[in-house]
Amino acid sequence: MNTLKLELRLALHSRLAKGALLLLLALSALAVWSCLHAVDQQRQALVRIAAVQRADVAAVAHKYRDGGEAGYAAYSTPHLTDHPPAPLAFAAFGQRDVQPFALRVRLLGLQAQLYESESINPELAAAGRFDFAFVLVYLAPLFVIALMHDLVAGEREAGRLRLVHALPVPGARLWRRRIALRFVLVVAALALPLLCGAASAGVAAGHMLLVLAIAALYMAFWFGMAAAVAAGVRTSAGGAAVLLAVFVVLTLVLPTLVNGAIGRAVPVSKGAELALAQRQAVHTAWDRPKEETMAQFFRTHPEWRDTPALTEKFQWKWYYAMHQAGDDAVAGQVDEYRAALTARERWTGHSGWLLPSVAVQAVLHRLADTDLHGQLAYLDRVAAFHKQLRGYFYPYIFNERSFGPAQFAGLPRWQRGAAGGTVALGAVVALALLAAVAGGAGSAALRRVRP
């Protein structure tokens, strides 16, 4: 115990070390507070949107107190869908800044409604949210470098390295003890604000433990890397320069190159192009014979083939058949678009086997349900809800039945998905292996240190 107290006193004796730990604690706290506020803002926005939704539906329903056309009711009534942030979203905000978390859909063509809201703020998309994941991935390694660059060279420059090797404790064990103490201090500076934020957000204990384990593994990788470099350099300045170069390559240069290579290998069109294609298909149908549109609709929806035929210039059944035919026309493009997005995400995940920063982000964003998988799952639920709405309205529209207060009362209700994400096990294993390799390299290098 006395030895640990002495090592702690030595570690904190340096103003650089003390200041670095306090600054890391402050940055972690700021990131947690900032994203807790962002999560709260999104939840408040959902409450306001829900209030507007109730008022809009009530206004439409009031017009139908004596009954009316189902087609116009379906056209006028919006249906709110939402994707509230998971409890852990404050730690890894992911795509929630750039993807819609609420959509109001009607019975019109679905694809245009899904992707016309694909509005991305370029400034937010470029810089990203200042969240715990950002602090962990991009800032914490710099503090490891500040604490570790002179681990051995500092003793050599102060003329104490021979004395250290003359101590009864083997040199490698002494270095490991000093590294372990610094490791605990850094992880504690990261974890304390995170634990407070998790308690405030109601994060499940299992998820919180996994986040702490990921943070510890990532820090273990950097401490191992720093130990390997510190053991091999002759000067503190040289150690800092080499470690900064390693940091820039592993966290900035290589991920950027990999991302660019994946983007070129797997091109992806914009979602807005799908919305445009669907709308173009609908607009084209206005100039086609109605019977042709209905025949196209009946090929995919034969259950409505025996309903009353078209008798007027405009009928709601033709209008909705036209919109559904527009969705069917772009179904292949939608599948290709989603397949390309998924392929990019998969290849990005594969790069995490060599790039620890990518592995960390993959785990945290999947666990917080703020990645592409979470967004696509939300859109899938919206599509299922739209199908449910069609199943509810179509009998009234195609059989030309009246729609009144009783029908409004029975409208399908949006069901949210389960809160929270899943564990990206492959990325966890990759990070653990990288940490083990770096730790082994650092330990081996420290055993070779000579005065």
Domain ranges of the chain: 1-451
Say if residues 435 and 353 touch (Cβ distance below 8 Å).
no
Q: What is the pLDDT of residue 118?
A: 54
| Alpha carbon distance 240, 150 (integer Å) | 8
User: For 150, what's the count of Cα atoms within 13 Å in the CB-facing half-sphere?
Assistant: 14
Give me the phi and psi of 80, to 5 degrees please: -80, 130
Tell me, what's the pLDDT at 123? Answer: 46
Residues contacting 258, CB < 8 A, separation 6+: 348, 351, 355, 358
- Whether the CB-CB separation of 176 and 170 falls below 8 Å is answered with no
Report CA 35 to chain centroid distance, whole Å: 13
Predicted TM-score (pTM) of the model is 0.90
Which of 130, 142, 181, 177 lies closest to 24 in space, CA to CA?
Answer: 142
Instruction: Give 265's contacts (C-beta < 8 A, 6+ positions apart).
Output: 347
* CA neighbor of 363 nearest in space, from 133, 197, 55: 133
Amino acid at 210: L
Residue 289 to residue 301: CA distance in whole angstroms: 19
Q: Which long-range contacts (CB under 8 A, 24 or more apart) does 248-251 make?
A: 250/355, 250/356, 250/357, 251/137, 251/138, 251/141, 251/357
Confidence (pLDDT) at 82: 95
Closest CA to 187 of 158, 218, 210, 162: 218
Looking at residue 168, what is its pLDDT?
Answer: 57
Question: What pLDDT shows up at residue 159?
Answer: 65
* Model pLDDT, residue 376: 93
pLDDT tens, residue order, the chain (451 aa): 566 666 666 666 678 888 899 999 999 999 999 999 999 999 999 999 999 999 999 999 999 988 889 999 999 999 999 999 999 999 999 888 888 999 999 999 999 899 876 555 444 444 568 999 999 999 999 999 999 988 777 767 666 666 666 665 556 677 888 898 899 999 999 999 999 999 999 999 999 999 999 999 999 999 999 999 988 888 889 999 999 999 999 999 999 999 999 999 998 887 778 888 888 888 888 888 888 888 888 998 899 888 887 777 788 999 999 999 999 989 999 999 999 999 999 999 999 999 999 999 999 999 999 999 999 999 999 999 999 999 999 999 999 899 999 999 999 999 998 877 899 999 999 999 999 999 999 999 888 876 6
* Per-residue tokens: 426: 């492959």
Residue 368 has what pLDDT?
95
Contacts for 89 with CB less than 8 Å, ≥ 6 apart:
35, 39, 96, 368, 369, 370
Beta bridge partners of 155: none
Q: Which distant-in-sequence residues (6+ apart) come within 8 Å of 151 by Cβ?
A: 175, 178, 179, 226, 227, 230, 231, 239
Cβ neighbours of residue 38 closer than 8 Å, sequence gap 6 or more: 90, 93, 96, 97, 129
